[in-house]
């Protein structure tokens, strides 16, 4: 590892620079070990930058306006803040509420755009596949195609001579592709999927005037309304924020999930492993990082080809080990069982092992500093997406296109194999990895909790009503380098399952839970309350169900809708004993998710930071007033245990309103209570 020596020299020059304390930076041993190794080698990571770069306190509060050239106008919350006398304003007169609301809805626009543009890319490939313009992609899951078609207004049967006949599948696929693609820019009407929500929910959206018209329009309208001198009413701004967020959750994200399932297969539970220890010293390691499975599906297919494995062996490796970082990891895990290499904050650290022969990235959550880290090793860093390039000259760009997808993937895999021999001797792969079961979805939850005779959500509802399961939590979202890596994720989830709340997880929370061993059926007896443990042991499922990537949060919306439909727990999502959480969020996507979850009727708690603290009136609107409109609202709690208990209190509030709180008391009785009853 000749180049590391160069870096070592640099290290002494930088010796005085402040670095992170690995033990304080992460709860994960593998992460701590790699942070230490990076520091020993003089390679800076985000954990060190967390020490040297402080966030702007005013931007943090959401009250810095830089939407025009007269600013930035900065309106921090005064120490002696008094709501009655608060007269802070920007040069144009914009109040803290207007500024914070503008910034907040712009975050929604960013998040909704990221999810939805991913969805659009999938829809484009889907249409090519349906039209048979590419050999690389096919319609795999025809059952799901037939389920989705009517939801987009596509007929699955045709009448001929008075007879009803099944329609040609290829024809259905093309029409589904066209209809789906239209959702981004159609001139009239509203999004097709909105009616998938329970009827009372749809009626609330209609009454509030927040039914999205098309995905792109809602995002563009946010940019217009937040331009200097347009919308100056925080409630009206949030209306549009909500409309764009719904266009994400019940539009772009849901379409992405459905079309991916049809093309690549609907996930079903499978066994795999998680953490940096999945890298193999004697294999060619290819780490796939980003979000769109269109690329990673091809890399997975190509890396399994016998001729590629043979080529790797010729080059002295025992085989090819694929693994993933961030949400693309969740995508290839849920469909192929490819192991998880790590969360968002472990991306630099995977390269620090010295064992990564190629890291392939597409879009979103990719640190630009990866290029600087890769420079210190033999690792080839490959960007693949036309909208996501890096300026550093050691980065290769191999543009991926569905029309020559297999060839592109072959080029990438070969490059990694050829690079294996350039690996230095000082490889250090941490030993930590955990077994996992992942790849649940609306369909598999139905199958597992419904049993072989009743493949429905009735059994889940029964167990919520009888109190064995206290409620359902969706715990999702990123890592945030400003808080200890994975601490919040794991503490919140453990506290929930300890209190009999079953957890549905996606994104980096899912990876954190995986690393901690919470995605195994065996973890139920160790970490769960008695009711949830009994269910998990009987059915053989983990108490924390991995539902995929962040766009797959749409699966959580649909699972909640199925629970409503199964009956006995109210008429709308907002009636359910359900709560959401993003303990370590950082991305604009998380804000968009939070708002569509809230507007779908779910109480959602954020950890780490919340970007509206400088505008208490606007914040109160999000935290309190929203509940009166949508039955769901945001909240903030940095302490993970208190965070979980806010969710549990909400779940209990809903149980009480449903009149099922008594059933829960029965479950909580201990042995002596039972004896007293029997006596």
Residues near ligand NFS (CB under 6 A): 291, 326-327, 344, 365, 477-478, 507-508, 550, 587, 589
Smallest distance, Å, CB 258 to ligand NFS? 17
Distance spanning both ends of the chain, measured CA to CA:
75
Residue placing its CB nearer to ligand NFS in the complex, 357 or 362: 362
Show the beta-strand stretches assigned E in 161-300.
163-166, 270-274, 284-289
Instruction: Provide the minimum distance between the beta carbon of 507 and ligand NFS in the complex, in angstroms, as a whole number.
Output: 3
The least distance separating ligand NFS from the CB of residue 292, rounded to whole angstroms, comes to 11
Give 237 or 478: the residue with its C-beta nearer to ligand NFS.
478
Residue tagged 């929604």 (tokens) = 108
Q: In angstroms, rounded to a whole number, what is the distance separating the alpha carbons of residues 130 and 148?
A: 14
- Minimum CB–partner distance for residue 65 and ligand NFS (Å): 25
Strand ranges for 275-379 from DSSP E: 284-289, 320-325, 340-342, 358-361
* Residue whose CB is less far from ligand NFS, 327 or 496: 327
Least gap, CB of 404 to ligand NFS (angstroms) = 27
Instruction: Give the nearest distance from C-beta 126 to ligand NFS in angstroms.
Output: 20
d(CA 413, CA 426): 23
List the one residue out of 280, 423, 430 whose CA is nearest residue 357: 423
**Residue pointed to by tokens 């290290």:** 11
Minimum Å gap between C-beta 365 and ligand NFS is 3
Long-range contacts of 443-449 (CB under 8 A, 24+ apart): 443/266, 443/268, 444/267, 444/268, 444/269, 445/545, 445/559, 445/562, 446/562, 448/269, 448/539, 448/540, 448/541, 449/535, 449/539, 449/541
User: DSSP code of 142?
Assistant: H
Helix (H, G, I), strand (E, B) or coil at 165: strand
Q: How far is the CB of 114 from ligand NFS (least distance, A)?
A: 8
Report in angstroms how near the CB of residue 503 gets to ligand NFS at its nearest. Answer: 15
Q: Which two tokens stand for residue 188?
A: 């009239």
Residues across the chain: 679
- Both tokens assigned to 16: 């005085």
Give the nearer residue to ligand NFS in terms of CB position, either 491 or 532.
491
With beta carbons less than 8 A apart as the criterion, state whether 274 and 429 touch: no
- 100 versus 478: smaller Cβ distance to ligand NFS: 478
SS3 529: coil
Rank residues 283 and 291 by Cβ distance to ligand NFS and give the closer one: 291
CB within 8 Å of 465: residues ≥ 6 apart: 568, 569, 660, 663
The smaller minimum CB distance to ligand NFS, of residues 326 and 660, is found at 326
Q: Which is nearer to ligand NFS, 324 or 529 (CB)?
A: 324
- CB of 545 vs ligand NFS, minimal distance in Å: 16
Instruction: State the nearest-atom distance from the C-beta of 327 to ligand NFS, in Å.
Output: 3
Beta carbon of residue 293, minimum distance to ligand NFS (angstroms, whole number): 12
CB atoms within 10 A of CB 375: 18
Contact 652, 661 (CB under 8 A): yes
| φ, ψ dihedrals at 58, nearest 5° | -85, -45
Cβ nearer to ligand NFS, comparing 20 with 326? 326
Shortest Cβ 167–ligand NFS spacing (Å):
35
Q: Smaller CB distance to ligand NFS: residue 201 or 335?
A: 335
Q: Which is nearer to ligand NFS, 283 or 546 (CB)?
A: 546
Closer Cβ to ligand NFS, 327 or 373, answer by number: 327
Q: Residue 593: left if φ>0, alpha if ψ -120 to 50, beta else—which one?
A: alpha
Q: Is 197 in contact with 250 (CB distance < 8 Å)?
A: yes
Beta carbon nearer to ligand NFS, 77 or 255: 255
Four-residue CA torsion sign, 412, 415, 421, 423: negative
72 preceded by a cis bond (ω within 30 of 0): yes
Instruction: Determine the Cα–Cα distance for residues 475 and 504; give it in Å rounded to an integer.
Output: 6
């Amino acid at each position: 590892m000749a180049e590391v020596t160069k870096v070592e020299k640099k290290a002494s020059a930088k010796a005085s620079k402040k670095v992170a304390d690995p033990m304080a930076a992460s709860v994960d041993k593998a992460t701590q070990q790699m942070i230490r190794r990076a520091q020993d080698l003089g390679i800076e990571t985000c954990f060190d930058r967390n020490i040297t770069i402080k966030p702007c306190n005013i931007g943090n509060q959401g009250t810095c306006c830089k939407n025009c050239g007269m600013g930035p106008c900065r309106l921090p919350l005064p120490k002696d803040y008094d709501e009655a006398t608060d007269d802070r304003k920007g040069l144009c007169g914009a109040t803290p509420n207007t500024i914070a609301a503008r910034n907040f809805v712009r975050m929604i626009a960013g998040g909704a755009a990221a999810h939805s543009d991913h969805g659009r890319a999938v829809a484009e490939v889907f249409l090519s596949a349906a039209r048979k313009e590419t050999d690389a992609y096919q319609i795999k899951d025809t059952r799901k195609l037939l389920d989705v078609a009517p939801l987009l207004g596509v007929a699955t049967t045709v009448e001929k001579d008075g007879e009803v006949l099944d329609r040609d599948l290829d024809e259905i696929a093309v029409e589904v592709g066209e209809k789906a693609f239209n959702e981004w820019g159609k001139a009239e009407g509203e999004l097709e999927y909105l009616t998938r929500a329970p009827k009372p929910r749809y009626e609330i959206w209609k009454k509030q005037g927040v039914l999205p018209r098309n995905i792109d329009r809602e995002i563009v309208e946010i940019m217009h309304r937040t331009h200097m001198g347009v919308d100056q009413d925080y409630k009206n701004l949030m209306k549009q924020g909500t409309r764009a967020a719904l266009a994400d959750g019940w539009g772009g994200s849901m379409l992405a999930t459905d079309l991916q399932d049809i093309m690549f297969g609907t996930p079903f539970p499978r066994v795999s492993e998680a953490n940096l220890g999945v890298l193999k010293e004697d294999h060619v390691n290819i780490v796939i990082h980003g979000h769109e499975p269109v690329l990673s599906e091809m890399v997975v297919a190509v890396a399994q080809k016998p001729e590629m494995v043979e080529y790797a062996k010729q080059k002295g490796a025992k085989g090819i080990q694929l693994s993933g970082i961030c949400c693309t990891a969740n995508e290839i895990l849920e469909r192929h069982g490819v192991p998880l290499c790590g969360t968002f904050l472990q991306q630099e650290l995977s390269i620090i092992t010295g064992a990564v022969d190629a890291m392939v990235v597409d879009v979103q959550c990719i640190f630009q500093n990866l290029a600087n880290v890769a420079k210190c090793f033999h690792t080839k860093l490959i960007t693949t997406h036309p909208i996501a390039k890096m300026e550093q000259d050691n980065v290769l760009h191999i543009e991926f296109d569905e029309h020559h997808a297999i060839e592109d993937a072959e080029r990438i895999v070969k490059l990694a194999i050829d690079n294996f021999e350039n690996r230095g001797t000082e490889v250090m792969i941490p030993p930590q990895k955990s077994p996992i079961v992942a790849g649940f979805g609306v369909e598999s939850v139905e199958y597992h909790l419904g049993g072989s005779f009743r493949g429905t959500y009735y059994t889940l509802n029964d167990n919520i009503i009888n109190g064995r399961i206290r409620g359902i939590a969706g715990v999702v979202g990123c890592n945030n380098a400003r808080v200890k890596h994975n601490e919040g994720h794991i503490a919140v989830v453990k506290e929930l399952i300890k209190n009999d709340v079953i957890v549905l997880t996606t994104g980096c929370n899912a990876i954190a839970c995986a690393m901690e061993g919470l995605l195994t059926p065996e973890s139920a007896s160790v970490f769960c309350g008695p009711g949830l443990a009994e269910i998990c042991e009987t059915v053989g499922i983990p108490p924390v169900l991995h539902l995929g990537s962040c766009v797959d949060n749409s699966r959580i919306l649909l699972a909640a809708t199925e629970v409503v439909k199964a009956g006995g727990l109210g008429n709308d999502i907002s009636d359910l004993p359900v709560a959401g959480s993003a303990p370590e969020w950082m991305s604009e996507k998380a804000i968009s998710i939070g708002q569509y979850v809230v507007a779908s009727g779910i109480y959602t708690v954020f950890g780490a930071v919340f970007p509206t603290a400088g505008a208490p009136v606007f914040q109160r609107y999000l935290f309190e007033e929203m509940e009166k409109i949508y039955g769901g609202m945001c909240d903030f709690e940095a302490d993970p245990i208190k965070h979980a208990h806010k969710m549990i209190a909400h779940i209990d509030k809903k149980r009480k309103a449903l009149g099922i709180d008594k059933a829960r008391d029965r479950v909580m009785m201990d042995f002596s209570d039972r004896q007293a009853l029997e006596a």
